[in-house]
Amino acid sequence: MKRFFEFLKLIRFVNLIFIAITQLVFYYCIVSPQYAIYNSAGPILSMANLNYLILASVLIAAAGYIINDYFDLNIDRINKPQRLIIGRHISRRWAMFFHLLLSAIGLGYTAYVSYDLRNPFLLLFNIIVVIVLIFYSTTFKRKLLSGNILISLLTSWVIIILYIAELDFSTNLLLSNRSNVLLKIHKIAAVYAGFAFVVSFIREIIKDMEDQDGDRRNKCSTIPIVWGTATAKIFVSGWVYVLIGMLFVLLFYSFINSWTWLVLYIMITLLLPLFRLLKKINRAITSSDYHQLSSLIKLIMLAGIFSMTIYYYYNR
């Protein structure tokens, strides 16, 4: 039983739940309602295929966490020795086996949905995701900026894949009102994917500052190591201001549409924590300080995702 719970920690079970919730909320609060608004036929992605696609995303992400820890063993021995799982509770051989198994099952689910929807891009892109996760763990994570950007893009993919699933390649979209639906879904997906990218990018840099002791000993070229911690703080603060600017645009749009609850939600759950984050970044010194910042940015991302429910309230 202990090994089972250690396995759940290895695959970041809480993060996997977050991925599933993100896709469920986006489907039921954004994708599905748009068809009713435009009096169009329902979503192409059925509930069954949605579940398969969510399972695929969760399994591929779990496999990514395993392969990341597999190749980060030397770094983790320095940064978080008390949280080591591979090599202590689960052997390296079994870790690789679980990585391959979960990746294969995830791609299997994707292949089924891709075939059922006659949409080859779902399988193609998820294959790319699996490959990118492997190269991220072996190479790109240790390179300046490239690893941060890749993980941030993969975070955005959790949302984008549901938009891709709604593309129907068997009909001419311009001849039906589905084109209007897809255009609206595309705009909203771009907003939330952009939000996810920036938030994830900020968190990745903060995690690099938290883990720089082990990264330095293993010759990683992360931002705080190459540019210095002070410059890294300025860089990440700049991206926080970018995110704040994006939210002020959404705040103005919500205000002119009289979406009062969404205005309040953005101010209380997103803007205030971001200003608090800016204040705490400048004061952060220890790994514990950076870990708290990482947890705060994760809560901000969660709050951003749940803003879809408020949007649904005004657009049902």
pLDDT number for residue 143: 85
Determine the Cα–Cα distance for residues 54 and 51; give it in Å rounded to an integer: 5
Q: Work out the pLDDT band at 173, boundaries 50, 70, 90.
A: very low
Closest by CA to 301, choosing from 32, 51, 65, 19, is 19
Convert the pLDDT of each residue in 120-142 to its tens digit: 999 999 999 999 999 998 888 88
Cβ atoms of residues 35 and 118 within 8 Å: no
C-alpha 214: how far from its chain's center?
Answer: 24
List of long-range contacts for 41-48, beta carbons under 8 Å, 24+ apart: 41/178, 43/166, 44/117, 44/165, 44/166, 44/167, 44/168, 45/113, 45/117, 45/162, 45/165, 45/166
Q: Where are the alpha helices (DSSP H) in 211-286?
A: 212-217, 223-226, 229-256, 260-265, 272-283
pLDDT number for residue 80: 75
pLDDT at residue 248 above 50?
yes
Q: Which domains does the chain have, with CATH numbers?
A: 2-169+176-315 (1.10.600)
Calculate ∠ Cα 156-55-36, nearest 5°: 70
**Secondary structure, 3-state, 71-125:** HCHHHHHHHCHHHCCECCCECHHHHHHHHHHHHHHHHHHHHHHHHHHCCHHHHHH
Residue position matching structure tokens 């591979």: 86
pLDDT at residue 172 above 60?
no
Largest separation between any pair of C-alpha atoms in the chain: 60
Convert the pLDDT of each residue in 37-50 to its tens digit: 776 677 889 999 99
pLDDT number for residue 40: 66
